């Protein structure tokens, strides 16, 4: 952590500005900030006099790269327990269905999360957050969805808020009550959706929700049920995002676009009509290579269609105990390049500029005057190394406003 006002000289900047060349790169550059806001990011030769910055707040970067801090825009970071034993059993040939029938799968995480106290849930979640921060993450989204009762969903969202207060970084909370059907509502999914909407209003009144999500899929909730959740969110003035088209083409991404969703996430089965709708609605495509990798999927999201129609692509960890126990944005970026054939520049844009848009944040993600002074000084020789190395941590120093 650096002073809330200061300057770094003799740097190389990956500004991620779209009006410049690759990475928005500037050689022999400087960055200055005051009261947590960037006041200058550009060539040293054009730098205005910063008379109000004391000399002891000026640092020499010695030609190191500086980029915007990373943003993880889709996580389920708050949960209790883990499913490592289930992971081992699946590798030994036991089916997911058998494990679920025995009380495993998501119900296992729901039970452990319900049983954990708020303090225990915080203590288990904090190390995961610290791992992401250690790699340069300064903004994070955390979803509920492993409680599936009012009190447990409330507990998860309260823990997420507490993690933000404790860490000092920005944490946006997303209500994912429509994540799975809890055992108490077996065979009554419509009744559960009514209940979720009631919870949403009550949790919103407690100021615990920044956005609303749902899992629209054959194994979860229908398009019409998801629409009812979104109508409720719209009436409360809450933005929406959606787990969409991960396992089948449910036209879920198009539904997210219909509601001007901040993002549609996963998207392996999304068709071109939905991609066009996403572009018109400025809905970000959030790619989640961690779950693709862990589930050993073969159906790729339509990256070429996103490029063709100019849909912004974000990259995120999807950190969760079942299908993406991924605690590294660097590895998420690398997997996005390897599996989805993103370029390293696209991956970094996806972890900064477009990830910010997926959270409805326009004040971060670029090194630009007026943006938040959230940035990372790196020890690598080229920004492509963020997606190149499988392991290791090239962070030199982290600054967040």
Q: Which of 326, 290, 1 is nearest to 131 (CA)?
A: 326
Q: Does residue 50 carry a pLDDT above 70?
A: no
In DSSP terms, 243 is beta-bridged to 215, 265
Give mean pLDDT, residues 292-314. Answer: 96
Question: In the chain, where are the structural domains located?
Answer: 6-68+366-399, 70-358
- CA 345 centroid distance within chain: 18
What's the whole-model pTM score? 0.96
Q: Does residue 69 carry a pLDDT above 70?
A: yes
CB 66 within 8 A of CB 308: no
CB 230 within 8 A of CB 190: no
At 356-378, the pLDDT tens digits run: 999 999 999 999 999 999 999 99
CB 300 within 8 A of CB 335: no
At 140-163, the pLDDT tens digits run: 999 999 999 999 999 999 999 999
CA–CA separation, 228 vs 193, rounded Å? 8
At 249-286, the pLDDT tens digits run: 999 999 999 999 999 999 999 999 999 999 999 999 99
CATH number of 70-358: 3.20.20.140
pLDDT of residue 1: 46
What phi and psi values does residue 155 have, to the nearest 5 degrees? Answer: -60, -45
CA–CA separation, 197 vs 337, rounded Å? 38
pLDDT of residue 256: 98
pLDDT of residue 115: 97
Give mean pLDDT, residues 72-77. Answer: 98
- Give the residue carrying structure tokens 């990372």: 376
Pick the CATH number of 6-68+366-399 from 2.60.450.10, 2.30.40.10, 3.40.50.300, 3.40.190.10: 2.30.40.10
What phi and psi values does residue 159 have, to the nearest 5 degrees? Answer: -65, -40
**Can you read off the two tokens belonging to residue 298?**
């073969």
71: part of which helix (H) or strand (E)?
strand 70-72
51-60, 90-99, 294-303: the lowest-pLDDT one: 51-60
Q: State the chain's maximal CA–CA distance in angstroms.
A: 68
CA–CA separation, 374 vs 183, rounded Å? 43
Q: What length does the chain have?
A: 401
pLDDT of residue 99: 81
Spatial neighbors of 281 by CB under 8 A, at least 6 apart, are 256, 257, 258, 260, 261
Residue 149 class from Cβ within 10 Å (0-12 exposed, 13-18 middle, 19+ buried)?
Answer: middle
Pairing assessment for the beta strands 65-68 and 137-143 based on DSSP bridges: unpaired
């Amino acid at each position: 952590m650096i002073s809330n006002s200061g300057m770094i000289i003799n740097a190389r900047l990956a500004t991620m500005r779209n009006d410049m060349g690759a990475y928005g790169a500037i050689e022999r550059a400087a960055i200055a900030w005051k009261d947590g806001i960037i006041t200058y990011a550009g060539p040293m030769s054009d730098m205005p006099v910063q008379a109000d910055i004391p000399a002891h707040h000026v640092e020499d970067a010695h030609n190191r790269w500086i980029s915007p801090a990373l943003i993880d825009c889709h996580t389920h970071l708050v949960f209790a327990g883990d499913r490592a034993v289930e992971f081992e059993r699946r590798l030994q040939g036991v089916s997911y269905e058998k494990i679920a029938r025995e009380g495993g799968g998501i119900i296992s995480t729901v039970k452990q999360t319900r049983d954990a106290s708020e303090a225990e849930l915080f203590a288990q979640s904090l190390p995961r957050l610290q791992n992401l921060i250690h790699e340069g993450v300064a903004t994070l989204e955390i979803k509920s969805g492993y409680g599936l009762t009012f009190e447990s969903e409330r507990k998860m969202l309260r823990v997420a808020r507490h993690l933000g207060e404790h860490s000092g970084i920005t944490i946006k909370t997303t209500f994912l009550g429509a994540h799975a059907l809890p055992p108490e509502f077996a065979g009554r999914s419509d009744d559960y959706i009514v209940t979720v909407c009631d919870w949403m209003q009550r949790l919103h009144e407690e100021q615990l929700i920044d956005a609303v999500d749902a899992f629209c899929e054959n194994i979860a909730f229908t398009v019409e049920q998801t629409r009812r959740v979104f109508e409720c969110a719209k009436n409360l003035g809450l933005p929406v995002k959606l787990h969409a088209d991960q396992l089948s083409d449910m036209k879920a991404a198009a539904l997210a676009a219909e509601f001007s969703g901040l993002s549609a996430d996963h998207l392996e089965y999304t068709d071109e009509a939905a991609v066009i709708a996403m572009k018109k609605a400025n809905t970000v495509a959030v790619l989640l290579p961690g779950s693709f990798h862990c589930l050993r999927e073969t159906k790729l999201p339509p990256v070429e269609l996103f490029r063709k129609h100019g849909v912004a692509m974000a990259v995120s960890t999807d950190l969760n105990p079942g299908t993406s126990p991924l605690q590294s944005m660097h590895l998420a970026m690398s997997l996005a390049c390897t599996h989805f054939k993103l370029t390293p520049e696209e991956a970094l844009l996806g972890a900064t500029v477009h990830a910010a848009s997926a959270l409805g944040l326009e004040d971060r993600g670029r090194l630009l005057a007026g943006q938040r002074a959230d940035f990372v000084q790196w020890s690598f020789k080229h920004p492509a190394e963020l997606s190149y190395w499988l392991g290791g941590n090239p962070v030199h120093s982290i600054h967040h406003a």
